[in-house]
């Protein structure tokens, strides 16, 4: 395995690592501060059963507060994102997911990837609508031709053949422009 592949594999989750490091850092700082505070209070008032209860209650409060803060930061935005996705799904394909400044960096990275998928989806839907309109207008023209009574069979075949070529051309051009692939 070459060095670049190892580096890519090793650093591929840097946003997630930074998020976890952020949580661990704040947790350690809070516990260190409370431990220092507990030692100072213990020396000032003595180590009795009430001191033990206060220390345990303090650690429980720290754990609860940190849990609430971090779950709010990591889980909270998902309700907002679900709502935004429902709006997009309802037909507003031009909308994108909102990134707030307080969102976690890993979540921001994830939202940017989802927005890329939404861009592709919007282009595909626009392509489908344009393609439908182009083919529908060509088929309407063919229908009008077939309803004429004074057209010869050779002339009809020629017009249908031209329409077929035009439809194939439209399919090829739209496919090349919007997806970069040839589907015809």
Each of the 184 residues of the chain gets a pLDDT tens digit; together they read: 566 655 555 555 677 777 788 888 888 898 899 888 888 888 887 778 888 888 888 889 988 988 888 888 777 788 888 899 999 989 888 888 888 887 777 788 888 888 999 999 898 888 888 888 888 888 888 788 777 777 778 887 887 888 888 888 877 876 666 555 434 3
Contact 79, 87 (CB under 8 A): no
Tokens of 102: 């307080």
Q: Do residue 17 and residue 46 come from a single domain?
A: yes
CA–CA gap between residue 80 and residue 62 (Å, rounded): 27
Of the residues 92, 117, 149, the one at which a domain ends: 92
Domain range holding 145? 105-184
CA–CA gap between residue 145 and residue 47 (Å, rounded): 100
Q: pTM value?
A: 0.58
Residue 176 resides in a domain: yes
Tally of structural domains, the chain: 2
Q: Do residue 60 and residue 145 come from a single domain?
A: no
Tell me how many helices (H) and strands (E) the chain has: 5, 0
CA–CA gap between residue 77 and residue 62 (Å, rounded): 23
Tokens of 173: 């051009």
Residue 100 resides in a domain: no
């Amino acid at each position: 395995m070459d060095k670049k592949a190892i580096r890519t594999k090793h650093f591929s989750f840097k946003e997630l690592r930074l998020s976890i490091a952020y949580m661990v850092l704040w947790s350690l700082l809070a516990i260190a501060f409370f431990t220092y505070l507990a030692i100072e209070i213990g020396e000032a008032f003595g180590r009795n059963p009430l001191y033990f209860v206060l220390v345990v209650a303090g650690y429980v409060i720290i754990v609860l507060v940190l849990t609430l803060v971090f779950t709010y930061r990591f889980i909270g935005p998902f309700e907002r994102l679900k709502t935004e996705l429902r709006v997009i799904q309802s037909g507003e394909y031009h909308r994108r997911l909102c990134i707030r400044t307080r969102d976690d960096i890993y979540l921001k990275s994830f939202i940017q990837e989802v927005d890329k998928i939404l861009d592709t989806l919007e282009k595909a839907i626009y392509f489908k609508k344009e393609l439908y309109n182009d083919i529908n207008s060509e088929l309407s023209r063919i229908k009008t031709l077939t309803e004429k009574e004074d057209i010869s069979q050779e002339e009809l075949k020629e017009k249908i053949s031209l329409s077929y070529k035009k439809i194939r051309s439209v399919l090829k051009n739209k496919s090349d422009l919007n997806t970069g692939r040839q589907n015809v």
